Structure 1
Amino acid sequence: MADEGEHGVAPQVVAGVLGNLEVRWGDTPVPVGHARQKAVLAVLLVEVNRVVPPDRLIDRVWVGHAPGRARSVLRTYLSNLRRALAPTGITITWRDTGYLLAVDPDQVDLHRFRRLVALARAGGDLRRALTLVDESLALWRGEPLAELDTEWARSVREHLHRERAAARADRVDWALACGQHGEVLPELTARAAEDPWDERLTGQVMLALYRSGRQAEALEHYQRTRQRLAEELGTDPGPALQQLHQRILTADPTLTLPTVGTPPPAATPRQLSAPPSPFIGRDDELNHLHSALDAVKEAATVIISVLAGAGGIGKTWLALHWAHRHADRFPDGQLFVDLHGFSPAGDPVDPAVAVRGFLDALGVDSNRIPTDLDAQAALYRSLIAGRRMLIVLDNAATSDQVVPLLPGTPTCTVLVTSRRKLASLIDRHGAHHLQLDVLSQGEARALLVERLGNERVAAEPDTVDELIELCGRYPLALSITARHAATRPNVPLTEFTTELRDLGLDVLDDDDPAASLPAVLSWSLRGLTSEQRVMFALLGIVPGPDVTLPAAVSLTGMSLPRTRKALHVLEDASLIDRHARGRYAMHDLVRGYATTLAHDLPESVRALALARVVDFHLHTAHTAHHLLDPHRPTFQLDPPAPGVHPPTPADAMAAMAWLQAEHVTLLATQRTAAALGLHHVVWHLAWALDDFHVRQAHGRDALVAWRAALKAAEHLPDPAALSRAHRFLGWACARLELHEEAAEHLDRALALAVHHGHPAEQAHTLRALASAWGRRGDDRRALDHARRALDLYRTLDQPVRKAIALNVVGWYAARLGDFDTARDHCHAALALNRQHSYPDGEAATLDSLGLIAHRTGDHRQALAHYHHALALYRTLGNTYEVANTLNNIGAPHTTLGHHEQARAVWREALELYREQGRDADADRVQRQLDDLDNTTHHERST
C-alpha cells in the first residue's frame, strides 16, 4: 500500500470515521485540510471503492448551498486530498461517472465494524461471535463524523447509531446464550432505565434476571413495562414479550441455558426455476452475457448484467436459459427470486423479504437472523463472500429492490431482469445494460416451427410470414398464437391470421393474466402518474409511426420539461423506444394496447389532443413549404390552438430536412384530419406538401393527398379551393402517366376557374395543361396552352409565374424546332428568375437552354447549362429534376464522344428513376445505356 518503514513492514493506514474524522499512517496523523475538505473525504470513505458522482458529492457536502463554481472547488479539494494521501497509498481517481477512493475497506473503521458484525452474525460459533462483535464495538471512539455538521453527516450518524445499537443488542443475545447473564445484567439494567420503550431490551433484562434466579424480579420488570405502555401509549407489549412473560410464569424449561455449539456449514442452494422450453435464438444477447461472465476473472467488482425490455419480450426466458447453460460455472450455488416488480401478485417484494429468503436458502437459523435490513444484507454478503455463486433477481421494479441483494465479492455474478433500465445500477455499480428487442424474422419462424412442427409451418409459408408480421415478432404474442394453433391442430393457420388481422390485441388476451399480452403490458403502468398514463394512451393515437418531443408537447398540452420527463419515464419503463434524432416510437402491439386505453379517456380529451397535434403539424408544414417556395401564393391559417408551439425551420434546407423527417407523419396527420372532419386541414396539408412531393418524386403520395383534398374541398366555402384541388390532382395524375384522369381534372379545374372569374387560377391551370399534353407527346398542343398561360400572366402582377410560363413556351418551341423563339423566351425567363431570386425557375430555364444549345449543335454550351442547372437542383433537394437533368446531360456527352461521362450520368439517372418508381423513364435510360454499350463495342471491334 505504501513504502515500507524502517523495519521493512509497511505502516498501517487507518481512516477513522467512528469518532473524529482522521487518517493515520502508522502512528503519524495525515493532515486532510479544513472542514469542507474533510466532508469530501468523509463521503468518499463512507462509499469506499464505489464511484461517487460529482453532483452527489456536492449535494452531501454543501446540502443545497453549493457555491457558484462548486465543481471547480470540488476538484481543488480532491487535488489537495490526493497530495495529502499520496504517502498512504490511498488513491482518489475518476472512474467513468464519478470519483472513487480506493483502499482496503478493513483500513476504514466503519467498514471494518460492519464486516466484523456481519461475520459475527454469519458464524455459528457464539463465543467467536462475541469476540468479533466486541472487536467491532471497540472501533467506536465517540460520535461518528464528529467534526462535520452537514445534513448528510447527521443522517449518516443517525444510521450508524442504529447499526451500533443493533450490534450491541445482538451481543447481549450471544452473551446470554453463552451463559454470561450475570456479566451483562448491570449493563442491561442501566440501558433499560435510559430506554424503557425498547421491548427487545426489556426481554433481555427479563431473561438475564430469570437465569440469575430472580424470577420474581423478571416478572415485576415486565409488569412495570406493561403498565408504562398502557398509561403513556395506550397499548400492550408486543407478542414476543408477552410470550416470554408467559414462559417465565410457567418456568418453561426451554428458557434454561442452551448448549453452545457450532451449526452446520451454509447450504448450497439450487434455486433456479426450470429452463424455458423451447428457447429460440438470442445468440447476440447470449454472447453478450457470456462475455460479461468471462470478464469476472479480471473484475475487481461484482459483475452485474441488467436485461431490460418490455413485458413479454422474453427477459426471464433468456436469463434462465443462460443461467442453466452456465450453472457449472457456479458450483457454490444459484439463488433466484422473483421480485414481482411487474406481475399480478400486487406490490413488489420488499428487499427485506428477499434477503430473508436468501438467508433461509443459505441455511441460516431463523433465530440468528437480525431484524434490521442492513444487518440482514451484511449477513447475506458475509455468507456468500468468496463463493462462486449466481444470483438471479427477476422482474425488479427499482434499483432499491436490487441493491440490498448485491453481493460484495467479485466471485459472484448477478443477473437482473426488469422492464426499467435501473439507471443507478449502471451509474453506481457499473452494471452491464442489455436492452432486449423483438425476435428476428428467422427466430420468430423457428419458434413457430418448434411449437407447431416443421410440416405445419412449411405447408402455409405465406400465412406464417403474415402471422409473424401481425405478431410483430413479439415473443409472448408468438407464443400465445402458437398455443392457440397447437391446441387446435385441425384449424388452418389462415384462420388465426384472420383473427389477428381483424381483432388485434383481443386475440392475445386470456383469463390467465400471465398468458395475456394486454394483462402483461398493463403491469408496466404501475408506478406511473395519472399524467404519464394519459400520455401513454395518447401516444397510441398520435398520427404517424413515431413522435418528436415538440409534437408530444402539443399532443399532451403539457410544458416542455414535463413532457420530456414523462417521455423519459415511459422509455425507462420500456413502453416506448427512443430512436435517432429524438424520435419516440412504440412496438405495434404496445401501441395497440395504448390505443385501447385512449378510448377509455373522455372524448373531449382525445379530440383536443388530436386537434392540437394536427395543428402543430399543419402550421409547421405551412411554414416549411413557404421556405421552400417563397414565391408561391400563401393561404392564411388560423392561429395555432392554445398549447401548440410549432417550430420555425431556419431556412429552406432545414425546411426540407423537417419535411423529409416528418413525411410519413404528415400523411398520417392528413388521414387523421379527414377522420375528424377537419376539411381545411386536409386541403392545406396537401397544398403544403405538394412542392416537397414534386421535388422528392413522391408521385403516389401526392396523388393520395390531393384525392383527399378534393373530397375536403367540396366542404369548404372558398370555390377556388375546389378548382385548385382539381388542378393539383390533375398535375399529380399527369406525372404518373394517368393521362385520361389528368385531363379530366385539369379541364374541370379550368372550367371552374373561368366560371368564378379567377384569371390567375386559369393561368396556373393552362400551364399545368401544357405540361400534361407535353407528357403525352403532343408538343404542339402543349405549346398552345403555354402561350395562353403566358398571355394571362402578362396581365397579372406575378413576375415569377410569368418567368415560368416564358420558360415553358421556350421549352416546347425548342422541341418543335423553333429555336429563335425558344432562345428569346428562355433568356427573358432567366433574367426574371434571377431578378426575383427564384432558383427553381433558374434551374428549369438553364435546363431548357441546355436543350436549345444541344439541338443547335453547341454541345459544350449545352453541358455548361445542364451542369449549372444540375448544381441548382441538387442544392434545392429536387431529386425529381436531378434525374431528368442527368438524363439530358448524357446526350451532348454522347455526341462529343464522351462515352464514359455519358455512361456515368445515365447510370446515376437510372438509379434515381428506379428509386422514384418512374419505370418508363428507367426503361428509356436503360435502352440508352444498352445502345451506348453496343456503340462502344462496335468502335472497339473496328
Structure 2
Amino acid sequence: MDETEGDLTIGLLGPLTVRRDGSPVEVTAGRLRCLLAILALTPGRTVPYHRLGEAIWEDEAPGHLRRTLQTYAGRLRDLLGADRIGGGPHGLVLHACDEDVDAARFERLARGAGDRAQLAAALALWRGEAFEDVDCHWLAATAAPRLDAMRLETVERRIDLDLAEGRHDELIPEMEHLVAAHPLRETLWTRLLIALDRSGRGAEALDRYEGVRAALGDALGADPGPELRRLHADLLAGRPLSAGPSRPPPAAVPRQLPAAPAVFIGREDALDRLRGSDRPVRVLTGAGGVGKSTTAIHWAHRISGEYPDGQLHAELHGFSPHAAPAAPGEVLGRFLRSLGVPPREIPEDTEARTGLFRTVTADLRLLVVLDNARDAAQVRPLIPGAGSALTLITSRNPLTGLLVEHRAASIALETLNPGESHRLLAARLSAAALDREPEAAQAIIDACAGLPLALAVASARAETGPARPLADLARHLLGSGRLDALDTGEPATGVRAVLSWSYRSVGRDAARLFRLLTLAPESDASVEAAASLAGRPAAETARLLDELATARLASEHEPGRYGAHDLLRAYAVEQAEQTDPPKRRDAALRRLVLHYAHTAHAATLLLVPGRPPIDLPERGPGVTVPDLKTSAEAQTWFDAETTALLALVRECDERGWDDLVWPLAWTVTETLHRRNRWRTWMEIERIALAAAERAGNRHWQATSHRKLGRVHGNLREFDAARARFSRAQEVFAEEGDAQGEASVLKNRGYIDYLQGRHRDAAACNVAALERYERLGDRNGQADSLNNIGWSLAQVGEYDTAERHCRDALGIYRELGNGDGLAVCWDSLGFVHAARGEHSAAEDCYERALDFYESPEGNRYRAADTLVRMAENCTASGDADSARVHYGRALEILDRLGHQDAAEVRAALDALPLRGDGPGECRGRRDASMCAS
C-alpha cells in the first residue's frame, strides 16, 4: 500500500465512523455505507462480487453487478484514498489491517483476553449496536448476531472474574439490565442468581428463578436447563452457589480447509441451494469426478467467516481405490485434538468419542466438511449435536439415512453443460487459445463430456506443452483412451497423466521415496520413518521430501510430517508395482517396522525406567530412530504413532513376519495400558500369541498369556485371567525363567486384590519379591513392595503397609519412575486416610494426581485417586470438597466409557447434605496395585 494514503480507522460497533489521518470522513449514500461495512468486516481479504451483490441488494441485484460495484468502489476510493479499495476479476478488498477496524480488533482482543483488564479493553470498543445506522439486511441478519453473541460471551467472562473477586453487589444492576435485554439467555440468569445469593438476597434469587422458569415455559414450552436447575436446588438446600465447570477454549482455532480451488466455474444452482438451506447438515452427491469436493471447498471458503470457532475437514476415503474408508473413531480423535482436547482425555470407544465431540462443539459456530463419505454410518458419529455448527458432506451415495435422521439437505451435482465446459477450459487455457483452434477446443469439450475432472486433466496436459497445438491433444483424447476418467468417472484413472508429469519432474531418489511412502501405514509419516523406508540418512531424506513437496507430490501437514492425498498415493502404488521389485519393497517395509519397533521400545523404557528390555531384531543399516530423551517426549511420540504401530502389527501378521510381530506388539503395550485401550490390547496380544506359537518361542508364548491375563483382569474377566496366568506360569517354570514367574505372581496378586483376597494378594507379591531380589530387578522389587503394602493396608496392618510402600518409594525415586512414584503416593495416601490423618493423606493424593494428570499419566488412575481423595474428604466431614473430587473422577470415567462410572455416580449422589456427619474411608478398585 502507498504509505502516502495515511491512517484509516473504521468503526462498526455502533454508528458507522470513518477517520482518515485523524479527520472524520462522511459516507452518506446508503448502499455505499453498506459496501464499506461489508468490506471492513474482513480487511485485507477479497470479498467476491456475487456475495457483495447478495448482501447489498438481496434479490434485486443490478444486471451489470460487477460494473456497478466497481463504480461504488471508485466513490470509496475518492473518500478513503486511491489505494484503499482494491478490485480484481473476482471481487473487492479493503486494504487495511485488523487493527484499523474496531470489529476485527474486538474479535482478536476478546479471543486472546486472559484477565479482566483485557476483557474490559475489548468491550470498550463497543459504542452502541453493531452496524447501528447501516441499512443492510444481510449485516443485520448474519454479521450483527455473530458479533452480538461474542460480545455477550465476553461480558459473561468479565462477570465471572468480577464474581470471583467478590464484586457481586455492584454487578446486580448491570445483570438486571442484561437479563431484561436477553430474557431467554440462561447463562445470564445463572450469574444473576449467583450475584443475588452472594449479596445475601437468596429469597430474591429464588423468586427470580420462578420468574425465568415461567418465562421459558411461556416462550419456548421448556423448563430451565441443568445449570439453572442445579442452582435452584442449591438455593433450596442452603448451599452456596458457584458457577459450573467449563472447558477452556482451544489454544488455536482450527482452520483445516484445503486451499480454495484456483478456478471455479458454474454450479450457481447448487450454490444457491446450499446458501438457501437452513438445514444444519447438507450433502453434495454425484458421480466420481463431477466436482463434489471442489464445490464443497469453494463454498466452505466463501462462508468460513461466518464460523469464527473454526473449520474442520476430513478426507474419508469412502471410494478410494487403495485406502480403506476412514474409521469414524480415528477422525473423531483428530477433531478432538484440533479442538484442544488433550490426547489422554480422548476415550477409545467411538461412541464415547462422539459424545465428547458433541459436548465440546455444543456452543461453537463451527464448519465441518466431511469429504468423500462412503455411507451414512461413516459420517453419523462425526456430526455435531445441538448448536450452531454446519456440516457439509460429499458422497457418491445419496446418504438417505441422514435425510431421515438429520433432515439433511441433499444437493445433486450433474455434469457441466457445454457453455460451462467452455468457460472452464477458457479459464484454464485462456479464451485466446480456444479461439485460435475452435474445432479442437470443441472436440476436447465433447470428449470430456462435461466432467470437471476430465476438463482439468485435459487443460493441465495442454499447459505442460504450450507450443503443441490443441489438435494434438484432441486426437489423443479421442483416439488413445488414456484418459479413462472420461469413460468411468473414476478419479484414480482420470488423473494418472497429470500426476505422471509431476512425477517425472523430480530426481530418481525423490521418485523412489515417493513410491516407498505408500508403504507407510498412515497417510503421513515422520522424517525418520521416511528415512527408514528409503534407507537413507534423515537429513538427506528431508531434502528429498522438500523436493516432493515442491513438485506437489507430498505436503508437510505439520512440522516434520509429510504425506500425500489419496490420488497421489494411488498413483504412487501403481508406479511402485511397475518399478520396484517385491524384494525391494519388502526390505523397505521391514526397515520401517524396525524403525517403529526400536523407537517404541526406547519410548517404553523412558515411560517405565527400570523395566527389563526385550531382545529386538537388530536395527541394521538404513534404519533411523529419533532420539527421545524424556518420558513426556516418549508419550507424545506414542500419541502420534500408536495407530501406525497397530497397523504394522497387523501388516506383519498378514505377511507372516513372525520374528517382527511379537516384539512390535510388546512395544505398544505400555501406551495401550496408559490410554486404557484394553480391547485393542486384547486384539494385538492375540496376534502376538499366534505369532509366538508359529515361531515356537515358548518365552514369547508365556509372556503373551500373562499379558492377556492382565487384560482380562482389567476387564474383570477373572476366570479367563487366572487360566492365562496358569498357562504362563507352567511354561516359565519349565524354562526356569524366574523373571517370568515373578511377573505372573505379581499379576495373580492383582487379581486376588480385585476379588477381595488381600492376604493372598500379599503372599503372591512376597513370592514375586523374592525372585526379583535374586534377579536384581529393582523395578520389579518396587512394584512388589508397593503391592504388599497396599494389600496389607486393606486388612488394617497400616504400619507394616507404610514401611513397604516407603521402601518402594525410595527405589522408584532412584530409578526416576514417575508412574511408580504416583502409585506409591496413592498407597501412602490411603494408609494415612485410614488412620484418620486426613491432611497427610490429601498431600499424598495430590502428589499422585500431579503425575496422573500429566501427559504421561493414566487418566483411569487419576480417577481412582480422585475417588480416594473424595472418600478422605467425606471422612473428615468436608462434603463440598468430596463433591468436587467425585465430579472430576466421574467426568474422566464417563469420557472413558468405563463401568466404574456408575459406582462413582452413586457415591456422589449419596454424599451427605451440609451439616450431616462424616462418612468413612474405604479402598476401591486397583489404582494403587502395580500389575505390569
Q: TM-score, normalised by structure 2?
A: 0.48
Q: TM-score, normalised by structure 1?
A: 0.48
**Structure showing greater relative contact order (alpha-carbon pairs closer than 8 Å, 6 or more residues apart):** 2
Larger radius of gyration: 1
